[in-house]
Structure 1
């Protein structure tokens, strides 16, 4: 997908900001353990970790499910929305990843209610995953499904780069270089998400799953487990 086709509304840009009070800064998605045991030690390692996960795991699960969630929200098919939200929650590969997702979803839903987003007021739509809550926010912002997914993927990249800087894996300049390459990687991931058939939705991110599972037993931690 061409980056010019995303047409991300400014209201959605606000929702991708690191200032969004959903607690993303508190989690590393397994990166802290990866750094601790030497899997990710420099900028090149981080590129492989981040963009590899984006292309080969996030696109085929979170991305593909987000597109389904957006379609359901746009068509007010709330039973389908809830079903896909529950399926995505169940697909998390570790307890830590699942808890991160649920806590961030809860925080975003609270924010959307405070801001008067209509779908968030409906207590029969209690989002269990952050992509589901983000889909409601993107729909309210008038974003297309592709633009919404681009925003969601950007927030993931930015959060991982910020975590890497805090862990001392990279510096600010390397972080900006990686984020400068993120749009092209996101465009590729969008295509993968859009082309993933319903019966092939899923992922296998072995090192991230192991890293997040073992993180809670790590002696010293900056990030929540």
Structure 2
């Protein structure tokens, strides 16, 4: 009888520990300190500030919300498709999602951002995850057969770690907002209190955004954001730049 109780307690403890380990994996890959070079990019914010489009907390919040919506309908869809393909070890669909994500970015700097961060994430994943699917994808990235974008790398790694597709989507969305708000602290007169308030509000939209795109296919990916594209084009030839985009 005593032995049975001991086994029951051990099993009860093991379940919550598995959940906590999964939660920490989510935190690890959502962390702005993840060494993939996100600090080098502003996702168009630098140009928006230089051109006066963003000039205070309200306009910053509006741009971050716009950027996360755009991310959801473009890279978010690619991530969802790639994550589900990774569950079936379907490398062909993963490569198709990777190419679609890259090709639908109009700006040179946006393409630079996604492949720089994607390849760094892939290298990191090879060190800490070490799965055949990730290795196969990275082999294609290194050979030039596929670009190696960030959302696709994130999809493969999170799938391999047992993170659900909706959670992987949330990690990606959080990363977009956190990148821009971190850049804002270096680019404009705003406090960390204001940026954290914006981040909390933006995070509250992720469920609705996921519901809007969860059933999307690669042909549903869209990237209509003309102001952002114009600002990105202006940034390429800007005389003074702190960030790569």
Fold agreement, TM-score > 0.5: yes
- Which residue in 1 is equivalent to 2:118? 105
Asked whether 1:42 is paired with 2:56, we answer yes
Contact (CA 8 Å) 1:67, 1:149: kept in 2 or not?
yes
SS in 2 for 1:9: helix
- Which residue in 2 is equivalent to 1:9? 23
Asked whether 1:27 is paired with 2:47, we answer no
Answer with 65-74 or 107-116: which moved more. 107-116
1:117 CA drift (Å):
2.2
Contact (CA 8 Å) 1:70, 1:135: kept in 2 or not?
yes
Specify every segment of 5 or more residues in structure 1 that has no aligned partner in the other structure, as ranges: 1-6
1:120 CA drift (Å):
2.4
- Which residue in 2 is equivalent to 1:207? 227
What are the within-5 Å matches in structure 2 for residues 1-225 of structure 1? 9-55=23-69, 57-118=70-131, 119-122=133-136, 123-126=138-141, 128-196=148-216, 198-225=218-245
Contact (CA 8 Å) 2:185, 2:192: kept in 1 or not?
yes
SS in 2 for 1:92: coil
Aligned residues: 218
Structure-2-length-normalised TM-score: 0.84
Q: Distance in 1 between matches of 2:112 and 2:59?
A: 26
Cα-to-partner distance string for 1:67-120 (whole Å, 9 max, x where unaligned): 101011111110111011111111112000001101111111111112242132
Q: Distance in 1 between matches of 2:67 and 2:179?
A: 14
Q: Distance in 1 between matches of 2:134 and 2:94?
A: 13
Structure with the bigger percentage of helix: 2
Structure 1 vs Structure 2 CA RMSD: 1.7
- Which residue in 1 is equivalent to 2:6? none
Q: Distance in 2 between matches of 1:199 and 1:19?
A: 33
Larger Rg: 2
Q: Distance in 2 between matches of 1:88 and 1:135?
A: 12
Structure-1-length-normalised TM-score: 0.91
Following TM superposition, where does structure 1 have runs of at least 4 consecutive aligned residues deviating by more than 2 angstroms?
119-127, 195-200
Cα-to-partner distance string for 1:112-165 (whole Å, 9 max, x where unaligned): 112242132224443621000011121122111000000111111111110111
Specify every segment of 5 or more residues in structure 2 that has no aligned partner in the other structure, as ranges: 1-19, 142-146
Q: 1:155 to 1:172 in 2, by over 3 A?
A: same
